[in-house]
A and B are shown apart, each in its own frame.
Chain A
Amino acid sequence: MDLTDLLDTANGVISREIFVSEAVYQAELDNLFTRAWLLVGHESQIPEPGDFFSSRMGTESVLLTRDSEGAIHVLLNSCRHRGMKVCRYDEGNTLNFMCPYHGWTYSTDGKLVAVAGELLGVPHFRAGYGSRLDRSAWGLVPTPKVCNYHGLIFASWDPDAPPFEEYLGDFHWWLDNLCSSASGDIGQVRVVRGVQKWRIRANWKFVSENFLGDNYHGPPSHESVDAVGIGPGGTSAATRHGAAPGKPRSVASTSFTRLGHGATGSARYFLGYPAFEEPELTAYFERAEAARATRFEAEGRPIGAMGPATLFPSMSFHAGPFPRALMVAHPVSPWETEVWRWYLVDADAPPEVADWLRRYYLRYSGPGGLVEQDDMENWDYATEASRGPIARRYPYNYQLGIGMTQPSALRGAVESDYFMTEENARNFYARWGQFVQGDSWAQMMDGV
């Protein structure tokens, strides 16, 4: 698809068509969601052999499974016979998925099949197919690429996709923090059971754009939350959306100019953990912060990189712990998105800490969250008011902070001078354009 007339990221002018056009949406499904690395889930959701979690990649239903040997797979949740969704449970434990339509059965049991997801049982195999059906060729379709990144499971449908680590680049510092406990122990987090899923009448890119560094929206969008205060450390603490009063951010935004990832804050800046009304919480996080500082110094990890942030294209997160949560924006149509939210806590958090965090996450984020509710109102009505033929003639303005950046010590990144900028969004859409117009991986990964 030719996007020349729609995208002018250098000058910060982007057509509304990319948010509302069905042709652009189809090109996104065909060229972006079939190739990019997408988050599927977390290994703590499927700890035992046979555990599965029903997930989603773009518009497609997938199963995140653990086979009898403990290996993790991502399989397209669609029967190879007539396409029936073989599993309609959200989670469970089984090594065999029997299609309810005509009974084809697929297995992840290494004792019975050579490849996880292979077709194991076919009703009337002998009498009906003369035993000639090639069961090894008709298994559930696996994603050719899966990566377990410190517990986060990513997958891509493109066998030619670069390794996840290359796709991620130096943005890994943000993801590392998401995967680390409050004391910085990488991989030591777990998902709190239950994924919030909800529908919004907004284009999916509004979600990514919001989290990749849109500090500009904070004060007007979230004024009502600042008025009542829901922050950690008591009722009056500011939310994480703006700098705490009297505490300026050093460098307020980092953008990976070619890879498209973006974040509020920099790798060099760490806000510190707040004090709480509850002494046991303060004690836990004081200890954690001290341990984190020692560990990061010893390991040479930068102290910051907390976010909020977006991994291109559609996984957004707060690296935590206030909150430590991630969300994936799944496209449903140009004007509708299904948002999934996972919440994470330290794997070894004492119950009172895990419970405090969980309650904080729920009052902060998701459809019930005091903060996020107002975001969704804005995304929805922005989408709706951009659909008309007249509205579509007038592009969006992304000129905030043009030319106001400095190089970052991180490879392929820039930092913005001022904490309100649309630099991150401009680079996100430039990357988006490359995918959607069908650039090759060689073109897209050259010199990133």
Chain B
Amino acid sequence: MSTGHDRDELLDRLLLTQELTDVLYDEAELLDEGRWEAWLDLLADDLSYVMPLRLNVAVGQHHAREQTRGGEEVCWFDEGKHTLTQRVGQLRTGVHWAEEPLSRVSHLVTNVRLRRVELPEVELSCRFVVHRNRVADETDFFVGRRHDTWRRTGADGDSAGGWKLCRRELLLDQNVLLAKNLTLLF
């Protein structure tokens, strides 16, 4: 049985975990309902959004070489809020044929764990399963790990209680991408 002090700390952590888990669930809902502009509002202006390539390398080289490096090497994505805003703009044109008609997308988020708490920033990790069904029988699964940094901005009243995403690294468990494109927002 933990002491009162430990118990308070544990409760704080649980509450923070739950608060951020709710943010992640809300975010998934925005994406899956196509409310992308509201999703953009969750992104900090200095957001770094990276999805590295995953390489097959020999044991012992994983740390150094298994993922390509954002900021330096070829990735699936390595961008910020500006490009993500353009993606949303493109989705809204009605002539972005890769998403016209729109795909059906579900983001499942799980295994949420706080990695570093240094308020106002919190680093967390989670797993994602993103399912896309397109036109008639086109189906893609995107599964992987995600490392996020969220920042509490103190702006009350917005949908995420003031949390803004300032860093997201997406480790997709694929070497050859088995989907024809990455028109989705992760």
Chain A residues within CB distance 8 Å of chain B:
88-92, 192-201, 220-221, 223-225, 227-230, 235, 338, 343, 355, 358-359, 361-363, 366-368, 370, 372-374, 376-378, 380-381
Count of residues in B whose CB is under 8 Å from the partner chain: 39
Is there contact, CB below 8 Å, between A200 and B180? yes
Taking the nearest CB of chain B, how far is it from the CB of A290, in angstroms? 29
B79 touches A377 (CB 8 A): no
Contact A88 B56 (CB under 8 A): yes
**Is B73 among interface residues, defined by CB-CB distance under 8 A?**
yes
Residue in B closest to A378 when the chains form the complex, CB atoms = B97
Bound-state CA distance A374–B97 (Å) is 5
**Are A198 and B177 within 8 A (Cβ)?**
yes
Residues of A within 8 A of B18 (CB): none
A199–B180 touching, CB < 8 Å: yes
A-B contact count (CB 8 A): 127
A92/B58 contact (C-beta < 8 A), A193-B73, A355-B71 known:
yes
B110 at the A interface (CB under 8 A): no
Query: Nearest Cβ in chain A — how far from B77, in angstroms?
Result: 5
Q: Are B181 and A196 in contact (CB under 8 A)?
A: no
Q: How far is the CA of A361 from the CA of B73 in the complex (A)?
A: 11
Q: Which residues of A contact B179 (CB under 8 A)?
A: 198-199, 367
* 27 A-B interface contacts by CB (under 8 A): A192-B74, A193-B74, A194-B74, A194-B75, A195-B53, A197-B175, A197-B176, A198-B180, A199-B176, A220-B95, A224-B90, A230-B86, A358-B74, A359-B79, A362-B75, A362-B76, A362-B79, A363-B79, A363-B83, A363-B86, A366-B76, A367-B76, A367-B177, A368-B182, A370-B86, A373-B96, A374-B97
A359 to B70: give the CA distance in the assembly, Å. Answer: 10
Query: Cβ of A194 and Cβ of B177 under 8 Å apart?
Result: no
Judging by beta carbons under 8 Å apart, are A362 and B73 in contact? no
The A-contacting residues of B in range 40-92, CB under 8 angstroms, are 51-53, 55-58, 61, 65, 68, 71-79, 83, 86-87, 89-90
With the chains together, A373 CA to B78 CA distance in Å? 16
Q: Evaluate contact between B98 and A374: CB separation under 8 angstroms.
A: yes
Other than the given A194-B68, A362-B76, 5 more pairs (CB < 8 A) read A228-B89, A362-B74, A362-B77, A367-B181, A377-B181
CB atoms of A227 and B87 under 8 A apart = no
Please name all residues of chain A whose beta carbon is closer than 8 Å to the beta carbon of B87 when the two chains form the complex: 370
Residues in A neighbouring B57, C-beta threshold 8 A: 89-92
**How distant is A63 from chain B, measured CB to nearest CB, in Å?**
13
CA distance A402 to B10 in the complex (A): 76
How far is it, in angstroms, between the C-alpha of A201 and the C-alpha of B137 when the chains are bound? 12
